[in-house]
Amino acid sequence: MKNDDFPNIEMVSNQACLLTFSQVISEATSNDIAQVTQRLKSLAGIVDLVPSYTTLLVVFDDDHFDRFAIFKTIRQTIEAIDPNDFSIKDQREVVIPVYYDKEVGPDIEDVARHCQLSIDEVIRRHHETTYRAYAIGFTPGFAFLGNTPDELHVPRKTTPRLKVPVGSVALAENQTAVYPSVTPGGWQIIGRTPVNLIDWGSKNLALIAMGDSVRFDPISRDEFLVLGGQLDGF
């Protein structure tokens, strides 16, 4: 990695430092973060790595590293990266089936009005886009996916719902996401998937990992029910 591309490194506690790669969310920045994460995770003394849109939090064992040693290790690791032979080993394409309808997507009509599109056009533009998982957070397995087409940019709801059903597919600003569990939420809900995004018995826990490509595949009501989808209300 070139010196110009080096992230800013700052301590945030005696056991953690924050790497800031850019002030702009982009696929290039996400790739840089994925590269560094992949290299650092195999090093002794690294306790945890928390990647996000433009940053990487590095948690380390302070019996193994002091501030100077962790900075040196991070810089040496980054210097050794050759972007020409790098591949994101764990990156996958995840396809999520979605039943788009006001029965399970109570905001889809409002989204269509806001965007000055028909409901069919909202569905088409949403599912024809391939998204990237830029961050994981909010609740376990909640992947922030971007970027939505400009025509589908919508604000969050003024009053969040107290309960959003599991599997709800939603929009907010330039992002889309699937609620992996029942939680409060303020995103605009346009559909629902029958797929479980969390498997507590699996090694990786969540279906979507940071850096994955994600596509949505429209399905009918009958297909949704056959695949185990639930029509419970809000």
User: Looking at the domain 93-226, which fold is it?
Assistant: Cyclophilin (2.40.100)
**pLDDT 10s digits, 46-70:** 999 988 889 999 999 999 999 999 9
Q: How far is CA 121 from the centre of its chain?
A: 24
* Beta-strand relationship, 188-192 and 93-100: antiparallel
Residue with more model confidence, 208 or 1? 208
Confidence grade of residue 84 (pLDDT, cut at 50, 70, 90) = low
The second-level CATH assignment, the architecture, of 3-85 is 2-Layer Sandwich (3.30)
User: 207, 195 in Cβ contact below 8 A?
Assistant: yes
**What pLDDT, on a 0 to 100 scale, did the predictor assign at position 2?**
52
Burial class (CB in 10 A: 0-12, 13-18, 19+), 31: middle
**What pLDDT, on a 0 to 100 scale, did the predictor assign at position 81?**
79
The letter for the amino acid at 84 is N
pLDDT > 90? residue 13 = yes
Q: What is the residue extent of each domain of the chain?
A: 3-85, 93-226
Confidence grade of residue 225 (pLDDT, cut at 50, 70, 90) = very high
Nearest to 22 by CA among 56, 45, 58, 55: 55
| Of 163-172, 200-209, 222-231, the least confident | 200-209
pTM greater than 0.75: yes
Average pLDDT over the chain reads 91
Classified as helix, coil or strand, 19 is: strand
Here the tokens at position 11 are: 């301590």
Residue 186: phi and psi, rounded to 5, are: -115, 15
In the chain, the N- to C-terminal Cα span, in Å, equals 48
Residues sharing a CB contact under 8 Å with residue 141, sequence separation 6 or more, in sequence order: 180, 181, 197, 198, 205, 206, 207, 208
User: 205, 141 in Cβ contact below 8 A?
Assistant: yes
* 3-85 and 93-226 in the same fold: no
Confidence grade of residue 227 (pLDDT, cut at 50, 70, 90) = very high
Length of the chain: 234
